[in-house]
Structure 1
Amino acid sequence: MGFMERGIMRTKFPAWQIFLWWHHFFLLWSTIDGQTRYSIPEELKRGSVVGNLAKDLGLVVSELHRRNLRITSEAGKQYFSLDLGKGELVVTDRIDREELCGQRPSCLLPLELVIDNPLQLHRVEIEIQDTNDNSPSFLTKDKVVKIAELVNPGARFPLESAQDPDVGQNSVRSYLISKNEHFKLTVKNQKDGRKVPELVLEKPLDREKQPVHHLILTAVDGGDPVRSGTSEITVIVLDNNDNAPQFERHLYEANVSENAAPGTEILRVKATDADEGLNGEIEYVFGELTDDQVLSVFYIEPSTGAITVKGILDHEANSLYRFDVTAKDKGSPEMDGHCGVEIKIADINDNIPEIIVTSLTTPVAEDSAIGTVIALISSKDPDSGDNGKVTLRLSSKSPFKLSPSVSNHYSLVTNGSLDREKNSQYSVTITAADSGKPSLSSEKTIRVELLDVNDNPPVFSQPSYVVYVKENNAPGKILHSVSASDLDLGENAKISYSILDSKVQDVSVSYVYINSDNGSIYSMHSFDYEKLKVFQIQVQAKDQGSPSLSSNATVHVFILDQNDNAPAVIYPSSAALGSLSHQRMPRSAKAGHLVTKVTAVDADSGHNAWISYRLAEATDASLFTVNLYTGEVRTKRAVSEQDDSSQRLLIEIKDDGEPVQSSTVTVSILLEDGLHEPILDLRHKLSEPSRKTGRITLYLILSLASVSVLSLVTFLILAVKCIRSSRSSGSCCMRRSDCDDYKNPNRNLQIQLNTDGPIKYVEVLGGDMLSQSQSFRSCMSPMSEYSDFTLIKPSSTTDFKEVISVLDASLPDSTWTFESQQVSI
């Protein structure tokens, strides 16, 4: 019959009308409280378009695939999908409103749209409109009603209500009874909106005339097209027991807490019967059509009508129970009465809030701006009222905060600066607490990892390094290793080393190279302390980040002196031409007579340049002695007539280095009589006109003038400094080595006056013995009418030898002398 009705309706309502009706719902959408809502009928075909989400949400269709637009549904089952090419929401599965929402008047299917880059959340509600796709039906197709023949007209007999899964206009609207002369049908409206049909006796029954009556009960819904269902009612006419039990109320209502223990009495129903004896004894039972779920949680005491808790109550599973109770007497025939019972299950706070992480973005760049969305979080609590009202909060200090979004949704966003070097990851604990009493809560920990960015430059272990290297080192030998560290990770912390520049006295040189991987610095040349004492290297450490960061450090390389130079003899000058020097001495010389002075220099420094003189061999060791430090050769005693006229001395010159370096010089001394008039010989030589002597005389005049000027300037400088020093310290020194040289040990100024024997000389020494030194000497003879003056400014040992060679060839050995003294501080 139902199939036929549907066939008739298809004939009655053309397909174009149905299409227009569906089209009306496809186009119906609205935005409520920031949420997009679409309304569609149930049972839509797969592939039907619900709406254009891209257009309605203001999204660019071409960016949907890149931004990874996706749908999540709280229903668990996916009924919809997105056409990323068009931005349309499409039906992908059969939607049965009755399956989703049951008898609820409003059926909303919430969807969450999650979009990345940037992270966004949109809430969409799909309202499922009911269609009249279910016909009313009766659980019992054949209903038997027993009525005593003596029952008076007007008696009412409740019948079974038809069930229709549809809601609203599509649910059961009316009942019809087949035509008969004894009964009519009335409909009783319940508080919950149900319509309960009742059979009303209009004319007395006569069992003897008609013991059984057959009726057809029809339930009709209000849909378009109309649907209906039927049930066959069989009325059996009973004899005798003519009073049925009557309840005090038609409907009993009660409330019970969902945590009520089994055996808890909820309420008592009560009915009375005017009959006596067995016809008046009443027994209470659940109605014939009582649902099994009701039978599983409630129990009715047959004799008292007390309804008690039998099973476990759960407000979240079912908050309201409706059922019928029948009161039967024990008469013959038995008669019964009916009433309705409505029990509401009161909610208690027995469900812990649940935290749901909808979307989580990790790792997060450590330079993310404040307000960057990390995760989308929602909460759920099946309880109702305050028991289901959930509040989320962060229970630990972290640079994050929860920002409320739509409904019970929150966004976890950054609330401060992030630094991976301090914290590489955060454990963000979120606490959800409801408003029940007592409150229930739960926690969920989200682990947020930080993505490294190149925000830390490499840092050297020291801002500057000091390296000491011995001279004469082998090329390619490692000098030192520098190291730098970077707090970043990966390529951002991978360091390469390079040399920006290496300088000697602000002049760039190329002495070293560096291993770019480990920072080891190698020499490219062998160093010579006498040529190079110190140089600087500018080293750079650079990471591989983008953009890369770098830092610099300075490496000071000091060359350590080695004793690799033997003392060089610069006087007697004959030593420049060979190892033999010829000197003359009068036999009238007394003890302590200055014969000559051996002068040597050592290119090394420090102890390696400390020179000592020793008489190694002598023709007569008792006649001569050599000063250990000055190299002066003097007579130890007066010369006698027995002494050989030719004396030979071998003088050894040693430094203080390790190992010791030495050199020797041989001095040949000729003892002559009448050598007490050397000035006459000198005057004789000078009177001989020659081009060479004239040139030397010019040199002496120029030297004398230069030394005079220099001596005057020197004395003035010393006087000024002594005056300043006396004001501050009350003392003055003639030697700068006692005061200024303490601060600058590489410079000295020495004035020395010697008056040994017939030779008079003054020395002015200045400069740095380790660099080019300046030495000025005035050599004069008191017996001469002339002032013989020699100016010597040597720049090296070779220069000394060249000048001495010229002077030695021009002047007698007894008329001049030269002294070079090394001063070490």
Structure 2
Amino acid sequence: MPKRSEEMLTDVWTSLMLVWITCVPYTSMTPISRQRILSRAKRGWVWNQMFVLEEFSGPDPILVGRLHTDLDVGSTPIKYVLAGEGAGTIFAINEITGDIHAMKRLDREEKAEYTLTAQVTNRDTDQPLEPPSEFIIKVQDINDNPPQFVEGPYRASVPETSQVGTSVTRVTATDADDPVYGNSAKLVYSILEGQPYFSIDPNTAIIKIALHGMDREMREEYLVVIQAKDMGGHMGGLSGTTTVTVTLTDVNDNPPKFSKSLYEFVIPEDLAIGQPGGKVKANDRDIGENAKSTYNIIDGDERDVFEITTDAQTQEGILRLKKPLNFETKKSYTLKVEAANIRFDPNSGAPFKDTATVKIAVEDSDEPPVFSKPTFVLQVDENAPINTVVGTVTARDPDVTGSLVRYFIDRHTDLERQFNVNVDDGKITLAKPLDRETDMWHNITVTATEIRNHSQISRATVAIRVLDINDNAPEFATEYEAFLCENGKPGQVIQTVSAVDKDDPIQGHYFEYRLIPEMLNNPNFTIKNNGAKHDTFRRQKQEMYFLPIIVTDNGNPPMSSTNTLTIRVCGCSREGIVQSCNVEAYVLPIGLSMGALIAILACIILLLVVLFVTLRRHKNKPLIIKDDEDVRENIIRYDDEGGGEEDTEAFDIATLQNPDGINGYLPRKDIKPDLQFMPRQSSGPNGVDVDEFINVRLHEADNDPTAPPYDSIQIYGYEGRGSIAGSLSSLETASSDSDQNYDYLREWGPRFRRLGELYSVGESDKET
């Protein structure tokens, strides 16, 4: 038999002996009479707590204990009854002896104790002999559960180079066995794997650093196996294990280091400003923020030509241009660059640094022509003749070989082609005359191109200022109209005039005003000090004057223009307030008066208006035929004359009526009636007498307030059946009968006229 099995069997027998010694009831050997039994006042059985060993399994039920009462003397039929938790299923009692047996295998970790009730009854009558009493059966623990790390596996971290004894983490194991009975739940911790780097406290399970100078750059991660053993770590105890992954976190304990001490780059001279010209890299064994470095140029010639920046992604130093390179001026550069950690050395307090040398060779490139200055400012007089030289632009090829340059004007900046440039020497000339009053400045772009390489192009802006010359005569600032009183005093100023000039002389404007030579001896008006003075006037003599005034500027040569001042002679009050002015004018010095022309034009317009009104009234006069007039003097013309006088069946009113209006009502479209009337029900034309038809319509028209106005005509095409007059459309028939009977028309003519006057409608109502 294995040694472990022997130990377990020894533990079981020991437990059974303890149960037997504790639980077997004590029985009094003194006989007790029945009379004494009936007179007892307290329970007569004796027992203590009962115990049963967990996980016990055997061929027979295990005896837990025995109940016994003092009443059980042999003469009284005693019956033991068991009730409570597990009674009858887990625990069974012998009714005669009171022995209690466990019928099933028990697990303390599932249920540690059971509360039951015992009672003694008469076997024959089932009457209780004593009150019931509770007792407890406890399940005795055995070491059947190993320790478990519920929260495992574990992960922990500790900074690299930590001191020995630095706490890393703590682990915890649990044991389901009874912690108060024996050593089944007493745990002891130990390390199975992870020495000599880590240690663990056997009681607290705290893992600590056990080795000095652990370096993350050498090894970053460690796997530690922890064991927890019960029974205080003694032989026969159960154990459980877990793993702890310990990661060393980085500290800045490594400086940056350039991969080489000398870097060499070749940079073309046409490299654009801000473009990278080379890269350097300082490696750092640390990670994260501890590996970040900054780069600087700490020494070298022309340090202001270059700058170095840090790429945040690659941690490289990018060398960039700050100023343009020129192969013809300087062909090489030598710089000293430094890489330094952002964080400091924890021991010295100074940042980690490293330096390297960078040599740069400038490569010659074919550069575009260079203008002598980026912007040229030229000037030219307005109205200068064509081919006048405005100025010259110059450019050169900066390369050593040197190439000839050709000049061109960008026509997008000179859409009107006002300038030309000589392709060889850059002289700019006029192609069209310029007007300063239209455009004072002209901005054009001139390009310079190498002859041997047309792709090398440069541009310069040329601003051309147009200088002013006196080429515009001054004019009145506005059309002046002066009013003077006929009773005004001689010498009174009647109007002050001013002039404007499109030119812009440097010395400013000065204008001279004078009358035309023909008016120098004019007795009525004089020009003095920019004012027009007058003598005494009478409206009966002349009511309007046109005074020509010459305005001259102070240019070289001077320019002048003649402007007319209109002067009206008005009737004024004594206070000089204008009361009335006429429109007749007299042109000075000779000519027809403007007032007379206006009066003639007004008369013509008045005659035209009178004529138009007369014609319109004549046109709107209604056509009324008197009863005694011969109807033959009023000719009614139809587009279709039918079949003649004898054709009384030529037209049927049913065919001329509006089919949509037979049972409907078409409202007026030119007026909105005040009252709404029901639509007239139109009767069919077949078999209807014309006399009755017309009388009904006349009655309706006379009583209908919504009847249309009298300025339109209603046409009726229905002539009735069997008319003795025949067709009305045959007044101009070719019949030779001169004895035609027109009595019918004389009788019905006035009625038709009356009907036409009442039923006059607009164009939109002709369908009815």
What is the TM-score when the length of structure 2 is the normalising length?
Answer: 0.37
Highest Rg: 1 or 2? 2
| TM-score of the superposed pair, with normalisation by structure 1 | 0.34
Q: Which has the higher strand share?
A: 1
